[in-house]
Each structure stands twice: as structure tokens, then as C-alpha cells.
Amino acid sequence: MAKNKVKYTCQHCGYESPKWMGKCPGCSSWNSLVEETVKQIKTKGMKESNYKSQEKATSILEIEGAKEPRILTEFKELDRVFGGGVVPGSLILVGGDPGIGKSTLLLQISHALVQKKCKVLYISGEESVKQLKLRADRLGVLSADLYVLCETNMDSIEEAVQHVEPDFLVIDSIQTVYQPMLESAPGSVSQVRECTSAFMRIAKNKGIATVLVGHVTKEGAIAGPRMLEHMVDCVLYFEGEKQHTFRILRAVKNRFGSTNEMGIFEMKELGLVEVNNPSELFLSERPLGVSGSIVVSSMEGTRPILVEIQALISSTNFPAPRRMTTGVDHNRLSLIMAVLEKRMGLFLQNQDAFLNVAGGVKLDEPAIDLALAVSIVSSFKDQPTRPYDVVCGEIGLTGEVRAVSRIEERVKEAQKLGFKRMIAPENSLKGWTPPVNIEIIGVRNVSQALEVALQ
């Protein structure tokens, strides 16, 4: 009988070591290596050297191309994130903070697919069947083709899949499922890796669209090995502040569609409701005629979104001024303030800077740089901007304003919401005709943009 070996696996990155170490060499995390037992199974049969593959290489021109059929749901925001609907046989990973609404969203998706004559199997390892029934009653998603099961054993789950033969499978969550042949605890790196591999085989061989719910770490990343995100076809993050009712579903990986797409929902008493016009919703409570406030046009995937950026610049007596941001990378704030101080001659070294993106939205596009600069200078000089101005543009280290992509969509969204003027990079205005009802002002550097916005 083969002797079992012991290894130590990092629960954050999957690094394996034959002995225990306090600090993981892979991700530099402390006390993350956990002991696991490796079973040595002696295989019988031919040697690997005598094995001959039955598959042969085929020219790509000889392969018949087939367009992947998609299943549309009732949520247009969700279909946008998926790239046009759910693809049969795809493996999807959904992550988010506890209590953000992942289970609520998946139950509503399951009900929407049932209405499309699909059979859905919802397997939960964290809630009982009665708890799922109570939630389904509250959301009004009861249907005969929606099957629920409370199970964590991988073998039992495979038997349930063979018995029900669903078109859509939900696993809530992957950290609770365990493989009986492995001695490690559920949620460990080896268990998550093996169970995900099993669900990948089920999805590909049987053509079942499978959704895995993943826990997140305190940094917001999906718990488990990084290889988990490489194995799946689509990675979705469900984000939002608990103090706000808005929820954002963001795709960071999608083999069947565009990445960086975003769907916006609003949490209400009867579940999640999609927001068809998020720009109007984000600007509904915007104050007019105050300093430090400006509207920016940002692209999230293929959709333009207008949001308000607020800045507060106040003097401080401390030697190290504070730099705090919400919804924007604080390093970007420091960079913009350094450009303003060097190129515009503004003395900001003794000023605290607080920046906020209203509505709980996170912006990481370079096109918001010019709006950050305008809001900072507006608050610093206590000079309000025009209430019907929209700003977009990327700022370089020499103070130039660089061109942005999809300027036509940005202008149309601003015109639709009633804005009268847009300040944009001059190089982005070449080769197209702007609309008549909105004034487009092209600028080359930060100095010109501030002169126009604060006049």
C-alpha cells in the first residue's frame, strides 16, 4: 500500500512546500500554509511512454465554425455583462462581499431562465432548503422547473445533476463543496481546485451553463488560488456599498464577450431591479452652483455613464497633508495634484484633499483626469463651475490633455441628459461632426481647460 505524504499549501496563492513556513514565498502572506495529506495512488496499466493519443492535429480551416447559441434573460443589464446572454456549457464565477445580494441575484436569474423553458438546479451549501423557499417566496420566483438542493458532497452533486439534467446549474458556494477522496478541509486550495475542475468537466461535457459563487478576501479578491479565475470562462464581481441601494455587476474576464462591461441594479424590497438609465439616477441629487463639483463622462465597456465628482480642498497645519479618495485611485489624485502644482503654479503642499465619486461608483478610466483637475482647482479657489458642463480628458505629466476613445457616445449621452457644453480634448474632435444642441470646446492643455471651465 502506498504511503501518504504531507505537504503544506498556502491558502491564498496555492504555493506548495514540503515543510511549514511562517511566511509564504509566493504571496508574502503570514501563517497561510496549512498541512494537507497527499494520497499516492498506484496506477495500473500501460506506461506513459507507451500511451498513444487518439486525437490528431487538424487544420483550423477544416474545423466547422459554429456560433454559440445564447439564452437571453429578462435583465438587459445582465445580458450586457454576459456579452449578449448566457452561453450553454460556460463556467461562470461570481464573487462579492457577504450580504451584497449574490444569492438574490442568482435566484432571480434562475427564475428568468425558467421562464425561457430552461430547467434550473440550485445547489446551496450555506442555506437549507427551507431558507431557500422563504427567499423565493419573498422574491416571487417560485416555479416547478426550479429545483433546489442542500448538498456539499461532490459525488452527491454529480448524481443530482445526472438525475435532474438541468440547463442551468448554480453552486452556492464553491468554498463549501468538497471532494471525498481528498482529506483536506472544504475551502482549502486543493478542494477548491479539484471541485472547480469537476464542475468544468460537467459544464463542457453536458453543455450545462454553471455558475459558481466564490467568497472574497478582505482585500476584495476572490478567495482561493488564482488559478481558479483562469479555469472559468467568465469572472463577475458584484459590488456596491451597503449604505447605498445600488449594486454593480462587473465583468473582469469573459471569453464570450467584452470585458469591462457593467450592469447596474438597485436593491429593493422585492429583490434587484435593473437600472436602465444610470446617468440620470447618479445625477438626480447633484447640487448646482457649488465649488468642487463637476460632471464627468466615463465609459464602462460600451456604455457611457455621467457621474458627479466632488472635491474638497482645505488647508492643514500638519506637515503631511491627507489624500483621501472614494471611487478613484488615491495615487491618481496625487499625480493630478503634482501636475497642477508644477504646471499651473498652485501651492497645494499644505492642503488636505478629499475626493468622492457620488453614487458609490468606482472609476478607473484615464479619461476622468481632466474632471479631477477641474474639481480640485474649483474647490481650491472656491469658484463654482457651470452646472451644465461635462468634462472628459486624460492628463499627461507635462500638462497636456490627451485624446479619449468613443467621444461620440460620450457627447450623445450628455446631450440626452440636457447638458449644454462639453470640454474635451481637441484631438478627439477630428473626423466627426458634433451634434447641434450641445457646444463642444476642444482644449490642448490643463491651463486652457481650467480657463474655460472656471470663467
The two beta strands, 146-150 and 351-357, are unpaired
- The CA angle 95-30-180, to the nearest 5 degrees, is 55
- Does 158 fall in a domain? yes
User: Do 32 and 110 belong to one domain?
Assistant: no
- The string of pLDDT tens digits covering residues 23-66 is 988 888 888 888 877 665 554 554 444 545 566 888 888 877 66
Domain annotation covers residue 164: yes
- 164 and 260 in one domain? yes
Query: Cα 399 to the chain's mean position, in Å?
Result: 31
Give a yes or no: residue 47 inside a domain.
no
The answer to whether residue 56 sits within a structural domain is no
Residue after which a domain boundary falls, among 252, 276, 300: 276
**Residue 287 in grid coordinates:** 447640487
In whole angstroms, give the CA distance from residue 372 to residue 310: 8
Cα torsion 82, 233, 32, 14 to 10°: value is -170
pLDDT > 70? residue 310: yes
Q: How far apart are CA 305 and CA 202, in angstroms?
A: 38
Helix H or strand E encompassing 434: none
Looking at the structure, tell me whether residues 179 and 291 fall in a common domain.
Answer: no
Give, as one character, the DSSP assignment of residue 248: E
Annotated binding residues: 96-103
pLDDT digits (tens, 9 = 90+) for 189-213: 888 888 999 999 999 999 999 999 9
> What confidence tens digit (pLDDT) does each residue in 106-126 have?
999 999 999 888 999 999 998
Q: Which of 201, 119, 204, 206 is nearest to 168 (CA)?
A: 119
Same domain, 172 and 243: yes
Asked if 130 and 220 sit in the same domain, the reply is: yes
Query: Do both 389 and 258 map to the same domain?
Result: no
What residue has cell string 457646444? Answer: 439
d(CA 204, CA 210): 10
Question: Whole-angstrom Cα distance, residue 10 to residue 59?
Answer: 41
Bridge-partner residues for 247, per DSSP? Answer: 265
- The domain tally of the chain equals 3
Say which residue the cell 469591462 belongs to.
Answer: 260
Q: What range does the domain containing 427 cover?
A: 281-453
Q: What is the DSSP letter of 269?
A: T
The reply to whether 160 and 132 lie within a common domain is yes
Which of 256, 276, 296 is the C-terminal boundary of a domain? Answer: 276
165 Cβ neighbours under 8 A, 6+ residues apart: 119, 206
Place of cell 451597503: 242
Helix axes 330-343, 446-453, angle to 10 degrees: 90
For residue range 321-339, list pLDDT tens digits in order. Answer: 999 999 999 999 999 999 9
**Cβ-count burial of 367 within 10 angstroms (0-12 exposed, 13-18 middle, 19+ buried)?**
buried
pLDDT at res. 235: 92
CA atoms 49, 52, 53, 59: torsion sign: positive
Q: What is the pLDDT of residue 66?
A: 65
Residue stretches of the annotated binding site for ATP? 96-103
